């Protein structure tokens, strides 16, 4: 095997194939949302919902635990239905809905209701990664899974890098974490749109 390869080969490959291009774009949106959820959840609960740091930390732990369970459950559902893209689209739309609901979070909300919200939020906003990587591998040209994965993951880490930074910038203007989460809903929705376009590109590639 060659010791040195072009550092941009993965990006060029993902851009050349529409299915991979839209998958990578979706991962940017979903990782953007995932990191914003994990980064600002505790601060939002303390500042806007009146939680103690310990109670807010428990909610973050619920998000992480639900994310782990969501990865297993979404993998099972994908295998059971044979429709990985469909499962990813459901997760993206559910994430969008959770962002919108979070915009209305208030100190008067029962703790059980808040916990239920973030259990669902964590399961879908954190649990999508495995399906994304599996779909990239499935759609890659023969013998090019590693290169395609590197290109797609560049988009993924782009979302990780930009998400919290942009979220914090918007917060400086809005002054409300809950409203910020409501506005964040546009990002996973764009991920849903990218996944829909990915499905259409896959159908065209298959001649359907």
Residues 6+ apart with CB under 8 A from 87: 74, 77, 78, 81, 131
pLDDT value, residue 208:
56
Distance CA 137, CA 115 (A): 35
pLDDT value, residue 67:
96
pLDDT value, residue 4:
59
DSSP-assigned letters across all residues of 4-56: ---TTHHHHHHHHSHHHHHHHHHHHHHHHHHHHHHHHHHHHHHHHH---HHHH
DSSP-assigned letters across all residues of 121-145: HHHHHTTTHHHHHHHHHHHSPTT-H
pLDDT digits (tens, 9 = 90+) for 47-79: 999 999 999 999 999 999 999 999 999 999 999
pLDDT digits (tens, 9 = 90+) for 154-194: 999 999 999 999 999 999 998 999 999 999 999 999 999 99
pLDDT at 11 over 90: no
Confidence of residue 5 (pLDDT cuts 50, 70, 90): low
pLDDT digits (tens, 9 = 90+) for 74-97: 999 999 999 999 999 999 999 999
The model's pTM:
0.91
C-alpha 171, offset from chain centre: 20
Is the Cβ–Cβ distance between 188 and 96 less than 8 Å? yes
Percent share of the chain, pLDDT over 70: 96
């Amino acid at each position: 095997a060659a010791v040195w390869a072009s550092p941009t080969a993965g990006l060029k490959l993902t851009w050349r194939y529409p299915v991979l291009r839209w998958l990578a774009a979706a991962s940017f949106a979903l990782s953007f949302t995932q990191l914003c959820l994990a980064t600002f959840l505790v601060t939002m609960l303390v500042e806007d919902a009146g939680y103690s740091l310990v109670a807010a930390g428990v909610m973050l732990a619920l998000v992480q635990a639900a994310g782990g369970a969501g990865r297993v459950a979404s993998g099972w559902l994908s295998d059971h239905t044979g429709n990985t893209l469909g499962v990813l689209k459901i997760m993206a739309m559910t994430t969008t809905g959770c962002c919108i609901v979070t915009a209305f979070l208030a100190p008067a909300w029962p703790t059980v209701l808040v916990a239920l919200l973030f259990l669902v939020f964590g399961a879908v906003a954190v649990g999508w990664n495995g399906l994304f990587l599996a779909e990239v591998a499935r759609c890659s040209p023969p013998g090019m899974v590693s290169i395609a994965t590197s290109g797609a993951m560049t988009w993924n880490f782009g979302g990780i890098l930009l998400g919290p930074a942009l979220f914090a910038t918007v917060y400086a203007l809005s002054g409300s974490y809950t409203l910020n989460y409501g506005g964040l809903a546009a990002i996973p929705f764009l991920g849903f749109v990218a996944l829909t376009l990915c499905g259409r590109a896959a159908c065209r590639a298959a001649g359907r």
